[in-house]
Amino acid sequence: MHFDPALLETYRTLLQTTDLQRAYQEFIRLFRFLRTELERQLPDFRFQSSITENAMDYAYFSFTDSGLKEKGLKLVVAFDYHRFLLEVRLSGVNRTAQCRWAEHWRDCPPPMELTTDPDHTDFVVRPLVETELSDGEKAAVAVKEAADRLLKIIP
């Protein structure tokens, strides 16, 4: 197997000439804090045991309660690296459930976004979370408020 030497050299240069590694570690510390803080604030929900990283495309963790689980839904806190945005997503527990729920909502309350392709996206509905990431407590409040907004639209 062969790998792109120019990309590997770029990666080496970034690691050696920038604070990329420390910046990434700080982001992971923030994201773990959000997960832990939400778990503390939402004791009735069951949280995924750790955060999941997806090759710097996005990082996420999910949580659910018995009502959501019964309906085939879960909440996901995701960070989109490319857009540098934090989101809370209402997602199906699998593609079948997700497609069923996408059919249920023809539109959703603004400023939430409804998926246009539930077979190929990882959400049914998502609001953007506007917050200053460097303030962990404010970020946790903003994420919880977005989750609360999503929970209110579920029949």
Residue at 7 is within a domain: no
**DSSP H helical ranges for 1-155:** 5-17, 20-41, 66-71, 95-104, 136-152
Mark residue 144 as left, alpha or beta (left: phi above 0; alpha: psi -120 to 50; beta: remaining).
Answer: alpha
Model confidence band, residue 103 (pLDDT cutoffs 50, 70, 90): confident
pLDDT at 14: 95
Q: Is residue 91 part of a domain?
A: yes
> Does the residue 40 lie in any domain?
yes
Answer whether residue 5 is part of any domain: no
Average pLDDT over residues 139-154: 94
Position 12 in a domain: no
- Tell me the per-residue pLDDT of 36-48, one tens digit each, with 9 for 90 and over: 999 999 999 999 9
The count of structural domains within the chain is 1
Q: Domain for residue 49, yes or no?
A: yes
38 part of a folded domain: yes
Give the domain range for residue 67. 26-152
The pLDDT tens digits of the residues spanning 42-91 come to: 999 999 999 999 888 999 999 999 999 999 999 999 999 999 999 999 99
- Structural domain includes residue 6: no
Angle at 34 (CA atoms; ends 101, 67), nearest 5 degrees = 35
pLDDT averaged over the chain?
Answer: 93
The model's confidence at residue 3, banded by pLDDT at 50, 70 and 90, is very high
- Give the predicted TM-score (pTM) of the model: 0.91
